């Protein structure tokens, strides 16, 4: 089965074709690298798949169902561009608010789990506005991991990370793919990153 399948997917903004006739098949349980130059439509494609944008034409299927299926969408973790966080709230508070929004049964345990996964337990009480770019990116990855997603869409998740941060994110993604079978769709403009 395919976790993601697009059929002649297209998105236009006025007279600009951001995505045109994209046919894509991402096998369930895979780590799939989606590479392209800046401005080539990678982020638009991920926004279409995640439901943040509506296609101009074509189809999107997730696990064989229409991409708007509520059950499938509830098992999707997404980090596209910058994490949406409150600057005056702490790392922990931002994650807790997201966990509560997702109606996670034991939000405290889940927040602690994702903080450990991205090696940020020691920064839990730091306000978001005082986090480095790399810490903010790792927090975004942590947000996308809340609730044990089945499908993860990550738009250039290693942007702004130092060598240690890159290692942490790579190891985390490999671990959740291997141990939980999470399908991971990663976009980048840097082949070496993928």
CATH for 13: 3.40.50.300
Q: Which of 19-28, 75-84, 90-99 has the lowest mean pLDDT?
A: 75-84
**In residues, how long is the chain?**
194
pLDDT (average), residues 160-178: 87
Per-residue pLDDT for 193 more than 90?
no
Q: Is residue 194 part of a domain?
A: no
% of the chain residues with pLDDT over 70: 99
**Three-state secondary-structure class, residue 185:** strand
Say if strands 2-13 and 57-62 run parallel, antiparallel, or are unpaired. antiparallel
Q: What is the extent of the structural domain holding 167?
A: 2-188
The stretch 154-169 carries a mean pLDDT of 84
Answer for the pair 89, 139: CB distance below 8 angstroms, yes or no: no
Q: Give tens-digit pLDDT for 45-63.
A: 999 999 999 999 999 999 9
Q: Is residue 154 part of a domain?
A: yes
Residue 119 to residues 11, 36, 67, 95, 113: CA-CA distances in angstroms?
37, 29, 32, 14, 10
For β-strands 65-66 and 76-79, DSSP reports them as unpaired
Q: Is 98 helix (H, G, I), strand (E, B) or coil?
A: helix
**103 membership: H or E segment, kind and range:** none
Task: Report, in this order, helix, strand and coil percent for the chain, each rounded to 5.
Answer: 35, 30, 35
SS3 158: coil
Q: Which of 54, 53, 47 is closest to 76 using CA atoms?
A: 47
Full-model pTM: 0.89
Query: Residue 192: is its pLDDT beyond 80?
Result: no
Residue at 120 is within a domain:
yes
Residue 161 confidence (pLDDT) = 79
160: exposed, middle or buried (Cβ count in 10 Å: 0-12, 13-18, 19+):
middle
Q: How many domains does the chain have?
A: 1
Is residue 89 within 8 A of residue 128, CB to CB? The reply is: yes
Q: N- to C-terminal Cα distance for the chain?
A: 23
151 vs 153: CA distance, rounded Å:
7
pLDDT tens per residue across span 93-126: 999 999 999 999 999 999 999 999 999 999 999 9
């Amino acid at each position: 089965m395919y976790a993601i399948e697009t059929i002649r997917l297209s998105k236009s903004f006025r007279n600009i074709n951001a995505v045109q006739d994209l046919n894509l098949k991402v096998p369930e349980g895979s780590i799939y690298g989606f590479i392209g130059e800046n401005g080539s439509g990678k982020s638009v494609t991920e926004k279409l798949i995640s439901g943040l944008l509506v296609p101009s034409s074509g189809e999107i299927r997730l696990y064989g169902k229409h991409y708007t299926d509520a059950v499938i969408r509830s098992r999707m973790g997404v980090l596209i561009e910058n994490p949406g966080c409150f600057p005056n709230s702490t790392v922990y508070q931002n994650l807790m608010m997201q966990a509560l929004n997702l109606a996670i049964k034991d939000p405290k345990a889940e927040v602690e789990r994702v903080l450990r996964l991205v090696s940020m337990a020691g920064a839990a009480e730091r306000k978001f506005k005082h986090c480095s770019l790399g810490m903010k990116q790792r927090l975004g990855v942590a947000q996308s991991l809340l609730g044990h997603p089945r499908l993860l869409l990550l738009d250039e998740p290693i942007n702004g990370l130092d060598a240690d941060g890159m290692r942490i994110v790579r190891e985390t993604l490999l671990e959740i793919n291997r141990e939980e079978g999470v399908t991971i769709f990663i976009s980048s403009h840097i082949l070496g990153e993928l």
